[in-house]
């Protein structure tokens, strides 16, 4: 089982004032599954939402995730918009 801490950054939707960051721990069987979960449930789902964003807390893990996401198969297989 592997896990990662993600940071939820959000803003008040009416006045766009920053709200306190929230730290969320996610877990999956392996890194591939962890990255897929993070993409599907956090980054892809909220990519057009201006008041909420998520990022991985660990800079090294963010770099690994960027490499994972750069593989078009990972992007497409996990719900990325291919149009």
The per-residue pLDDT for range 18-51, each reduced to its tens digit, is 999 999 999 999 999 999 999 999 998 888 777 8
Q: Give, in degrees to the nearest 5, the angle at Cα 26 between 81 and 39.
A: 10
Instruction: Give the pLDDT confidence score for residue 82 in this predicted structure.
Output: 65
Map out the domains of the chain as residue ranges: 2-77
pTM: 0.87
Please check whether residue 52 is in contact with residue 43, taking contact to mean a CB–CB distance below 8 angstroms: no
From the CB of residue 76, how many other CB atoms can be counted at a distance below 10 Å?
A: 11
- The structure tokens listed for 45 are 């789902």
Strands (E), the chain: 2-10, 22-28, 52-56
Length of the chain: 83
Radius of gyration of the chain (CA): 13
């Amino acid at each position: 089982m592997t896990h990662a801490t993600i940071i939820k950054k959000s803003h008040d939707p009416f006045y766009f004032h920053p709200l306190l960051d929230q730290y969320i721990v996610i877990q999956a069987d392996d890194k591939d599954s962890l990255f897929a979960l993070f993409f599907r449930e956090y980054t892809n789902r909220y990519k057009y939402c201006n008041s909420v964003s998520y990022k991985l807390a660990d800079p090294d893990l963010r770099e690994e995730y960027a490499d994972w996401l750069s593989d078009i198969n990972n992007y497409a297989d996990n719900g990325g918009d291919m149009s």
